[in-house]
Amino acid sequence: MAIAPKDPAKWDDLTVRMVSGAAMFVVGAIGVIAGGVWFQMMVVFVGAPIITFGGLFLLFLLAPTMLSLWMTALEGYVANPFGDR
């Protein structure tokens, strides 16, 4: 039993999306078959932004904790610079 979409306008761009997906599949297949530098370039152009934005996201999440730990350690050192370590 298929459920009809509530708004048929949501499916207007299905052809464009299918053609785009087919084009990406063809380019990816050519890159894998060609191998070598072409495959490496595809990996770099996809992987580098993911790694970069992933690192920035982790920094965004963890920066407050890292700064509070660093500040606590700095205050302890400034209070007693020659104390026990």
Q: What is the DSSP letter of 68?
A: H
Asked whether the predicted pLDDT for residue 1 surpasses 60, the reply is no
DSSP letters, 8-25, are: GGGGTTHHHHHHHHHHHH
CB 24 within 8 A of CB 18: no
pTM of the predicted structure, to 2 decimals: 0.47
Q: Band the pLDDT of 4: cuts 50, 70, 90.
A: low
At 63 the pLDDT is: 97
Closest CA to 22 of 30, 12, 10, 11: 30
